[in-house]
């Protein structure tokens, strides 16, 4: 992997934006994985942007009265991505639970024009999720979070968009999960071109 060159001021505007969506229930390892992938890309001087979509609409009241449930996240993603794109970025990693990604990909595509999606769903068994959620130490909400994670596992698996790739994180450390995710993202495939 080489160094990033060019940008909008240099006329190097990409035809597509390579968007890696890492989704899954709470506790499967989304945040750890995306940060490890990002760390490796940075070490190889490969430009990219990272956004946690669960933070795009962390406001109260929520949902915003009079708006579709996803609209605040769409607006914020569009605003942030416009700034990154203006710098010439063409790789974006998004992470979030995304309970029904088939319903959410359209607003993401609207916020990130020319997006070419690679969707990777991380999963793990309930015993692994229980151990991870407990380790987070979220006090009296552990039981509530475990119930939510169990529900999310079923809902998300039932709503995979076509082409979704699945990585079971249960027996893997974050480095191994990142290895698999990197191997699955076509934007990182060696082409001989300057990244």
What CATH number is attached to the domain comprising 159?
A: 3.40.50.300
Position 39 in a domain: yes
* pLDDT digits 0-9 by tens, 34-68: 999 999 999 999 999 999 998 999 999 988 999 99
Position 107 in a domain: yes
Position 190 in a domain: no
Closest Cα partner for 89 from 141, 41, 136, 55?
41
Position 6 in a domain: no
Domain of residue 112 covers 22-185
Tokens 């699945």 correspond to: 166
Low-confidence ranges of the chain (pLDDT < 50): 1-12, 191-195
Residues 6+ positions from 192 with CB-CB distance below 8 Å: none
Give the per-residue pLDDT at 82: 95
Residues 6+ positions from 156 with CB-CB distance below 8 Å: 23, 24, 25, 97, 98, 99, 100, 101, 121
* Number of domains forming the structure of the chain: 1
Position 1 in a domain: no
**What's the half-sphere exposure (Cβ side, CA atoms, 13 Å) at 166?**
13
pTM reported for the whole predicted model:
0.86
* pLDDT digits 0-9 by tens, 60-91: 998 899 999 999 999 999 999 999 999 999 99
Q: Is the dihedral of CA 11, 6, 31, 19 positive or negative?
A: positive
Give the per-residue pLDDT at 139: 57
Give the per-residue pLDDT at 140: 61
Position 191 in a domain: no
How large is the C-alpha radius of gyration of the chain? Answer: 17
Give the per-residue pLDDT at 28: 94
C-beta separation of 18 from 90 below 8 A: yes
Position 77 in a domain: yes
Position 97 in a domain: yes
């Amino acid at each position: 992997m080489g160094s990033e060159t060019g940008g909008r001021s240099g006329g190097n505007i990409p035809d597509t934006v390579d968007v890696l969506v890492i989704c899954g229930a709470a506790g499967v390892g989304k945040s750890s994985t995306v940060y490890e992938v990002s760390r490796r890309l940075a070490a190889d001087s490969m430009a990219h942007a990272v956004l946690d979509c669960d933070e795009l609409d962390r406001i109260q009241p929520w949902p915003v009265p009079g708006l579709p449930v996803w609209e605040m996240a769409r607006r914020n993603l569009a605003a942030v991505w416009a700034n990154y794109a203006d710098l010439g970025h063409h790789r974006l990693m998004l992470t979030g639970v995304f309970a029904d990604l088939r319903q959410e990909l359209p607003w993401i595509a609207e916020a990130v024009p020319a997006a070419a999606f690679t969707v990777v769903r991380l999963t793990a068994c309930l015993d692994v999720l229980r151990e991870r959620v407990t380790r987070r130490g979220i006090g009296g909400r552990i039981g509530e979070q475990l119930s939510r994670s169990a529900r999310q596992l079923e809902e998300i698996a039932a709503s995979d968009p076509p082409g979704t790739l699945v990585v079971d994180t249960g027996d893997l450390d974050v480095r191994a999960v990142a290895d698999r995710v990197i191997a699955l993202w076509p934007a990182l495939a060696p082409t001989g071109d300057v990244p």
